[in-house]
A = this chain, B = another copy of it.
Amino acid sequence: MARIDGRTHDGLRPVTITRGWLAHAEGSVLVEFGGTKVLCAATVQDNVPRWRKGSGLGWVTAEYAMLPRATNTRGDRESVRGRIGGRTHEISRLIGRSLRACVDFKALGENSVVLDCDVLQADGGTRTAAITGAYVALADAVRWMRSRKMCPGDPLVDSVAAVSVGIVNGSPMLDLCYTEDVAADTDMNVVMTGGGAFVEVQGTAEGTPFDRALLDRLLDLAGGGCAELTRIQKDALA
């Protein structure tokens, strides 16, 4: 079945990763999954949250946000409303957890890296683009730290990438754009390591609940997509 942008069911949108987009950040990436553009900035701090002090271990955390006019209709700023919405919280936590899966905190030493993922333009898959781009920004920040001998070892034990899959009009599809996402019966975000293991699997039946066979097909699709994204990350970092 043809997709609205002519892709095959297992094709990613054009993905570009532009490193060094910001002058000040220790690592920064503009990642694009088709029309989705996320600016990922990595900030290195030579300390850790209070509850981790004295442990010899580092920390990695993330904050996700969307500019008000990233979307088709303008959204209110969360700073103006005075509260962060549930969706923002949820995605920030997801990005942080995902990146921590590839970090050796002992090798990082008592340093922190904060990943700010700000969506400049949204066309579906903002959280998976954010994870995929943030990993590259993190890798750049780690290089920056290692060149200054801040870390006792190599903190990156693997890489991490993420992609969305879903069932649209009964067909499993990879990397949904906004129009597909809205039409999807089931929507799943999968985070995997470069080595091919799962870090997060989050599937939701927006409409009809899905059975095990469909779930298996979605996981297969996601596996292929993450492998391709891993390759793109490697090229970008080369």
Query: Which A residues form the contact surface with B (CB < 8 A)?
Result: 22-25, 28, 35, 39, 41, 43, 45, 63, 65, 67-72, 74, 77-80, 82-90, 92-93, 97, 101, 114, 116, 118, 120-121, 123, 158, 188, 192-193, 195-205, 208-212, 215, 219, 223
Shortest Cβ gap from A133 to chain B (Å) = 14
| A53 → chain B closest CB, angstroms | 19
Contacts A23-B123, A202-B203 known; 13 new A-B pairs at CB < 8 A: A22-B120, A22-B121, A24-B70, A43-B74, A65-B79, A67-B118, A69-B116, A79-B83, A79-B84, A80-B84, A197-B209, A198-B215, A202-B202
**A99 to chain B: closest CB distance in Å?**
12
Residues of B within 8 A of A192 (CB): 209
Q: Which residue of B lies closest to A45 (CB)?
A: B74
A204 close to B209 (CB less than 8 A): no
Contact present for A215 and B201 (CB under 8 Å): yes
In the bound assembly, the distance between CA atoms of A188 and B198 in angstroms comes to 12
Q: How far is the CA of A114 from the CA of B80 in the complex (A)?
A: 14
A93 CB, nearest partner CB in chain B, Å: 5
Whether A200 and B204, one on each chain, are in contact in the complex, defined by CB atoms closer than 8 angstroms, is: yes
**Interchain CB contact (< 8 A) of A23 among B24, B118, B121, B195:** B121
Inter-chain CA distance A185–B116, complex, in Å, is 27
CB within 8 A of A195: which of B71, B97, B116, B209?
A: B209
Q: Would you mind naming 28 contact pairs between A and B with Cβ atoms under 8 Å apart?
A: A22-B121, A23-B121, A24-B69, A24-B70, A24-B72, A28-B69, A39-B67, A41-B67, A63-B68, A65-B79, A74-B114, A79-B79, A82-B82, A86-B92, A89-B89, A89-B90, A90-B90, A90-B93, A97-B204, A120-B120, A198-B211, A198-B212, A199-B204, A199-B209, A200-B203, A201-B215, A212-B219, A215-B219
A192 CB to nearest B CB, Å? 8
Interface centre among A22, A101, A201, A203 (most CB of B within 10 A): A201
For residue A118, which residue of chain B has the nearest CB?
B67
